[in-house]
Each structure stands twice: as structure tokens, then as C-alpha cells.
Amino acid sequence: MVCGCGKVGLDRARSNQAIDEIAEYVGLREVFDQSLDVYRAESIARQFLRKAQRAERLQYETAIVSMHLRSAARELRQAIRQIDAVLLRLENRTEQSDWNELLINIQRSFDEHEGVAGSEAMKERFRESLLELDGLEPDMAATAWTIAAIAFDELSRSGLTGPVDLLRRSLLSTRADLTNIELVESRGSLSELSVNQSQVDCISVAVAIAAAAFIVCCFIPWCWCCQSVAIAAFLAVAVVACLDIYG
């Protein structure tokens, strides 16, 4: 079948809109939006921490240092609350009566619309995007590519369940990394929060959202042939955002 789509924009706003519309179709829009908000909260926490560390090195009084440490801890608590809320919302959605039938129908549409070939094309677009990110360290590029390759390959076997499980695992990993907030408040240390692991978790969430959007798109009329470029654009932008948070 020949696609009847018009030109699909590649700007950030259009790609985000595409993800929102796809996610809304299956009741996952708020889950996806709030998942990304977790890392924005952690980013703010790290900004406060760096400010506290600068204040200490510049020999500001202890009260100023402590103020910024408390702010960092506050934002980390917000990130944890955000994760808990997302996981609860995700659990509620996947336990609704229509979910299992939806999974079956989505998988059928994926097969009907040559989803495996589409997954390969998505992987290749993402790999090209990683190649063009000049500030991206080779090891992190390889890690991001591996996460995406596994997630998109898994679609043919696990369907929507695959990216949903990846999203859940990544958020739980992030939560485990953020629970020791007393270290932040008392000693001004985020040494227990691995920057590399945080980047991997953030990228994994972005990949999970993109992979879920792709397979759901196969189920939505005309979406399967119109929005793959927008989904790839979303993933590239999201990876850059993850790197900027921890840069």
C-alpha cells in the first residue's frame, strides 16, 4: 500500500507531538511525559549540588552551602515521587481489561505492516544520528546503540510488552540510584549517583518510549507509514537531552 501522508516535519515540537498522539491512542501519554520529567528533576538536583560545591570551594559560609544542598535533596525527593507515580500509573494502565487484547492487536498490525523491516530502518536512522553527534563519547554512543538495537529487535518477539518492561526496569534502576539522598544533604556528595548509569537509564527510557511508539504506530491507521521519521527524530533529540542533563 502506498502511503498517503503529507510531509512530516522533523522539528522537535512536531516529533514530540507525534509521540504524544501515538501514546494517547493507547492511554500511555501521561506515563511517557512523566517518565521524562523524572530526569529533568534530577538535572535540577545536580545543578543545585554543583552550586553548593562551587560555594564551598569559593569559601562561602556554611549556611549558603547547606541551602543549596537542601535544594538538591528536595529535587531528588521529587524525582523519586515522580518515579513512584509513573510506575503506579503504568501498573494501572496495564491492568485494565482491554490491555491484553490491545497487545494482541498491536502485534498483529506490526506483522501485517512489515514491522521487522521498519524496526531495522528505525535502528539505522538512530545509528546515523549517533554518528553525527560530535560531542558524544564513543563508549556512550555504543551503549545507546546497543540499548536501541536490543529494544527494536525485541519488538518482533515481545511486542509492546518489551518496551513497557524496559521503561519499568529503567525507572526502577534510577530510583535505586536516587534513594541515598541523605548523602547529598549531609555531605554534599553525589558520588553514589553514577553519572554514566544515570545517562544509561535516561537513554533507556527514551528508547523504550520510541520503541513503544513505533509498534503502536503500526496499529494506528496511516501512522505506520507517516510517523517513523518523527519517532526517530524524537529519539535523537531525547538522547541529546539525556547527555545535556549530565554533561
pLDDT at 205: 96
Look over the chain and give the mean of its residue pLDDT values, rounded to a whole number.
86
How many angstroms separate the CA atoms of 26 and 99, rounded?
9
CB 222 within 8 A of CB 4: yes
Cell of 210: 520510541
Q: How far apart are CA 20 and CA 216, in angstroms?
A: 12
Distance (Å) of CA 66 to CA 26, 50, 77, 190: 45, 12, 16, 14
Q: What is the CA radius of gyration of the chain?
A: 19
By mean pLDDT, which of 22-26, 43-47, 87-91, 162-166 is the weakest? Answer: 43-47
Q: C-alpha cell of 128? A: 546515523
C-alpha cell at 95: 491492568
pTM over the 0.75 mark: yes
Query: Looking at the predicted structure, is the pLDDT value of residue 7 above 70?
Result: no
Cα distance between residue 129 and residue 145, in whole Å: 10
3-state secondary structure of 235: helix
Q: Looking at residue 227, what DSSP letter applies?
A: S
Distance in angstroms (rounded) separating the CA atoms of residues 213 and 227: 9
Percentage of residues in the chain with pLDDT exceeding 90?
Answer: 49
By three-state DSSP, how is residue 193 classified?
coil
At 10, is the pLDDT very low, low, confident or very high (cuts 50, 70, 90)?
low
Please classify residue 215 by burial: count the beta carbons closer than 10 Å to its beta carbon, then call 0-12 exposed, 13-18 middle and 19+ buried: buried
* 164, 208 contact by CB (below 8 A): yes
Q: Residue 93 pLDDT more than 60? A: yes
Distance CA 34, CA 83 (A): 8
Name the range with the highest mean pLDDT among 67-76, 139-148, 158-167, 181-190: 158-167
- The pLDDT of residue 3: 45
pLDDT over 80 at 175, yes or no: yes
Give tens-digit pLDDT for 124-165: 989 998 898 887 888 888 999 999 999 999 998 999 999 999
In the chain, where the domains are located:
12-245
Q: For the packed helices 29-57 and 161-178, what is the interaxial angle rounded to 10 degrees?
A: 30
222, pLDDT greater than 90: no
Largest CA distance in the chain: 69
pLDDT of residue 190 exceeding 80: no
